[in-house]
Amino acid sequence: MTRLWGLGRRPTAREQRDELLSAYLDGQLDAEVHARLTAQLADDPVLLSELEALRHTVEMVRELPPLPVPRNFILPQPRTARPRSQPAPGLRLARLAPFLTASTVVVSLLFAVVLVGDLLFGGRMGMSTAPLNEAPLLLEHELPAEAPAPLPSAGERDVAVTAVVEAESEAEALPLAVPTAPDAAQEYAGSAPESLDTAESENAVRGGTITSEVGTVTPGPVAAGSTEGELPAASAPPDWATPAPGVVTEFAPALDEELPPSEVMPYQEDSELPETAPTAPVSSWRIGEIILGLASLGLALVTVWAWRVRRH
């Protein structure tokens, strides 16, 4: 007998003999092998003794008395409440195993396509960075030190002050405030001012237009009564830190229009000003990869489980 046993191990002579004797007892040998073994048993008392011992062992096992059941194993009636047309959720899912397999393959292929697309084209297209004009603004005190702007000259500052005073006189009733031109001009033009708290400014200047040759300070609406150096971030242009010289910009809203209440910014202390971390560019390829990757992983797990339930 050349068949391998177990993990590729050849059976020993004793194991081969026992298998022959066991099959002989059960009448599982070919007629020819059976006849040869019968003849050998007649001539070999040791082999015959082994056969008898094996036969006796099998007889004793077969003589084991049947055990009575300790109790009845009938199922309780409530189980009948579940109609056979509505199998357990697990079984229902098991029926969907082929469909789940196909879905997993499709989603995985999509994932692979998106992954390859990202590798090939991700750097050139599909990068949907946040628009520049939607980028969060840097408040004055957050201006980077390496982005200084030229200090306005004394004349420029006078022009700005004049503009602010005029605006103030014309729009006293407006509830909003902007920093004074000297403050704004000085602070935005200065390189990384220490804090708005230190600025000598009128802090409750109502909204208006500040014009200077250096640039335009465009504070957004600030709540009336706001304290030192609070500048809103919502309506300032993104490039206000480096305005083009000579550009005149008008603030919104117009001086003679009262701002709607919705535009009034809530009061915030300096320490409570939200930090405006720069938004990292997000790739649509990357979003697709994440979604499809998670979907394919989840589908794969559910599919494996469904097949296991189906097999059982």
Partner 1 sequence: MCHAMDEASLVTAAQQGNMDAFNELVLTYQQPVYNLAYRIMGDPATASDATQETFIAAYESLERFRGGSFKSYLMRIVTNRCYDVLRRRKRRPATSFEDFGDIDEEANPALVNGHEGPDEYAERQEMAGVIQAGIQTLPPDQRITLVLSDVQGLSYDEIAEATNVALGTVKSRLARGRAKLRDYLREHEELLPARYRLEDEDRKH
Q: Does 66 bind partner 1 (CB under 8 A)?
A: yes
Contacts of 169 by beta carbon, 8 Å cutoff, 6+ apart? none
Candidates 253, 242, 193; CA nearest to 217 is 242
Q: Does 3 bind partner 1 (CB under 8 A)?
A: yes
Residue located via tokens 């008008």? 250
Q: Does 83 bind partner 1 (CB under 8 A)?
A: yes
Size of the site for partner 1 (CB under 8 A): 46
CA 33 to each of CA 6, 17, 26, 36: distance values in angstroms, whole numbers, following the listed order: 24, 12, 13, 5
Q: Does 41 bind partner 1 (CB under 8 A)?
A: no
Three-state DSSP at 154 gives helix
Residue 309 CA to residue 306 CA, distance in Å, equals 5
Q: Does 60 bind partner 1 (CB under 8 A)?
A: yes
Q: Does 119 bind partner 1 (CB under 8 A)?
A: no
Q: Does 31 bind partner 1 (CB under 8 A)?
A: no
Stretch touching partner 1 by CB under 8 A, among 57-65, 193-201, 213-221, 251-259: 57-65
Q: Does 7 bind partner 1 (CB under 8 A)?
A: no
CB-based contact 33:46 (threshold 8 Å): no
Give whichever of 50 and 270 is closer to partner 1, judged by the CB atom.
Answer: 50
Residue 125 CA to residue 114 CA, distance in Å, equals 13
CB-based contact 235:218 (threshold 8 Å): yes
Give whichever of 18 and 118 is closer to partner 1, judged by the CB atom.
Answer: 18
Q: Does 106 bind partner 1 (CB under 8 A)?
A: no
Exactly one of 33, 39, 58, 247 binds partner 1 (CB under 8 A); that residue is: 58
Give whichever of 74 and 154 is closer to partner 1, judged by the CB atom.
Answer: 74
Over the Cα atoms of the chain, what is R_g?
Answer: 44
Minimum CB separation of residue 77 from partner 1 in Å reads 6
Residue 82 CA to residue 88 CA, distance in Å, equals 9
Minimum CB separation of residue 304 from partner 1 in Å reads 18
Residue 202 CA to residue 157 CA, distance in Å, equals 15
Q: Does 91 bind partner 1 (CB under 8 A)?
A: yes
Residue numbers of the site for partner 1 (CB under 8 A)?
Answer: 3, 5, 11, 14-15, 18-19, 21-23, 26, 28, 48-49, 52-54, 56-58, 60-75, 77, 79-80, 82-84, 87-88, 91, 312
